[in-house]
């Protein structure tokens, strides 16, 4: 189990840095100069909305990954927060930040 936790921790740390990089790129895109052409401005506003949505999604994912890292430190990682059952290792491999067992998640 210790080894599994260690690899989960590495996986989560990797995801966290990927997500932070993505968020950084989004911020850079969002702060770019807007053109003075009104048709292009409309297009850019649309792009900004997409960027906002991805930003919200990315921040949510970062929060989930951080929470999972915290649970590893607390020793509650891999346990369903709803029913307390162990989350299947296969599920954790696919979604290391999972907080619910397959029964409670479905
Ligand atoms: Zn459960």
Every domain of the chain and the residues it spans: 2-77
Cβ-based burial of 8 (10 A; exposed 0-12, middle 13-18, buried ≥19): buried
Q: Residue 73 Cα, ligand 1 centroid: separation in angstroms?
A: 20
Who's near 35: CB < 8 A, 6+ residues apart?
Answer: 41, 44
Q: Are 99 and 74 in contact (CB under 8 A)?
A: no
Does position 45 have pLDDT exceeding 90, yes or no? no
- Give the residue-averaged pLDDT of 30-49: 82
Q: Residue 81 Cα, ligand 1 centroid: separation in angstroms?
A: 7
* Top-confidence residue, 85 or 31: 85
pLDDT range class, residue 51, cuts 50, 70, 90: confident
**How confident is the model over 59-81, as pLDDT tens digits?**
999 999 999 999 999 999 999 99
Does position 31 have pLDDT exceeding 90, yes or no? no
Residue 46: predicted pLDDT: 87
Q: Residue 92 Cα, ligand 1 centroid: separation in angstroms?
A: 13
Does position 1 have pLDDT exceeding 80, yes or no? no
pTM, 2 dp: 0.81
Residue 26: predicted pLDDT: 87
Q: Residue 29 Cα, ligand 1 centroid: separation in angstroms?
A: 40
Measured distance CA(20)–CA(62) in Å, rounded = 7
């Amino acid at each position: 189990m210790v080894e599994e936790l260690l690899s989960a921790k590495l996986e989560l740390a990797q995801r966290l840095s990927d997500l932070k990089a993505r968020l950084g790129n989004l911020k850079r895109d969002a702060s770019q100069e807007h053109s003075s052409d009104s048709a292009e401005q409309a297009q850019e506003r649309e792009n900004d909305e997409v960027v906002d949505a991805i930003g919200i999604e990315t921040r949510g994912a970062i929060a989930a990954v951080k929470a999972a890292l915290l649970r590893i430190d607390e020793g509650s990682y891999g346990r369903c927060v709803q029913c307390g059952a162990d989350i299947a290792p296969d599920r954790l491999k696919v979604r290391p930040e999972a907080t619910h067992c397959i029964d409670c998640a479905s």
